[in-house]
Amino acid sequence: TQLLEQSPQFLSIQEGENLTVYCNSSSVFSSLQWYRQEPGEGPVLLVTVVTGGEVKKLKRLTFQFGDARKDSSLHITAAQPGDTGLYLCAGARPNNDMRFGAGTRLTVKP
Amino acid sequence: DSGVTQTPKHLITATGQRVTLRCSPRSGDLSVYWYQQSLDQGLQFLIQYYNGEERAKGNILERFSAQQFPDLHSELNLSSLELGDSALYFCASSFEARGTYEQYFGPGTRLTVT
């Protein structure tokens, strides 16, 4: 059982559509990161959220940390083929333990 | 470029053999993490070192070991290799000063056991 559950596992959409992916847990995290990984490469850090309720925007990407710091969401507006990849969330627990979710594999078709 | 380097990029070896993977963290980062990623398992945390000492252990097999040296580079040793050990092995580093534990990943080592 994953400490962090990501949903959906797979998502295939058309260019221009909006989407939201989720990262949920029953544990509280001191911080949560989102990463994007392309095939054969290492994950690349997109954002870190620290405060419950925090919202961060990165161009067309909006990240939200739940009020209780147990969950997070990533919303992409007007998706583009370049957004295709594996989106991973990772949580840091108060004991310094880092855990990754299994990821959401996003495909954006032109 | 994350600033984390890993060598070698590719490694092909036979079952029963032993290999060593090397990682150099970003300048100034004290923590090094090792992960295994296979198609059916996702990104699995193996072990973390902080300033030369083991800090956290994940799903690391007894056949695997790691260490972090005084210059902060780290090595992951895999022995008695099995076909199932074929995977991408990533190293990541972090500074941790702000308690956010943002990790920066290297390009990975692709291990193929035949």
In this prediction, residues B25-40 reach a mean pLDDT of 90
Q: How far apart are CA A6 and CA A4, in angstroms?
A: 6
Residues of chain B positioned with their CB less than 8 A from the CB of A43: 43, 90, 103, 105
- CB within 8 Å: A103 and B42: yes
pLDDT at residue B39 is higher than 90: no
Closest CB to B106: pick one of A42, A90, A96. A42
Q: How far apart are CA B101 and CA B35, in angstroms?
A: 15
pLDDT score for B57: 87
Angle at A65 between CA A87 and CA A7, to 5 degrees: 40
pLDDT score for A83: 96
Closest CB to B90: pick one of A42, A48, A97. A42
**Residues 6+ away with beta carbon under 8 Å from B57:** B46, B47, B48
- CB within 8 Å: B88 and A40: yes
**Count, residues in chain A:** 110
- CB within 8 Å: B88 and A97: no
Q: How far apart are CA A15 and CA A82, in angstroms?
A: 10
Residues of chain A positioned with their CB less than 8 A from the CB of B33: 98
Q: pLDDT for A31-56, tens place per residue?
A: 899 999 998 889 999 999 989 999 99
Q: How do the pLDDT tens digits run along chain A, 110 residues long? A: 568 999 999 999 999 999 999 999 998 988 899 999 998 889 999 999 989 999 999 999 999 999 999 999 999 999 999 999 999 999 887 766 778 899 999 999 99
How does residue B26 score in pLDDT terms, banded at 50, 70 and 90? Answer: very high
pLDDT score for B67: 97
CB B43 within 8 A of CB B37: yes
Q: How far apart are CA B33 and CA B30, in angstroms?
A: 10
Both tokens of B17, joined, read 């053999």
Contact of B88 with chain A, judged by CB distance below 8 Å, is answered with: yes
pLDDT score for B40: 67
Q: How far apart are CA B106 and CA B74, in angstroms?
A: 12
pLDDT at residue B41 is higher than 80: no
Q: How far apart are CA B58 and CA B45, in angstroms?
A: 5
Q: Which residue has the tokens 């850090």?
A: A45
Both tokens of B110, joined, read 């692709």
- CB within 8 Å: A98 and B33: yes
Q: Residue A24: beta bridge partners?
A: A5, A71
pLDDT at residue B45 is higher than 90: no
Q: pLDDT for B50-109, tens place per residue?
A: 999 998 888 899 999 999 999 999 999 999 999 999 999 999 999 875 556 788 999 999
Q: How far apart are CA A23 and CA B37, in angstroms?
A: 19
Contact of B49 with chain A, judged by CB distance below 8 Å, is answered with: no
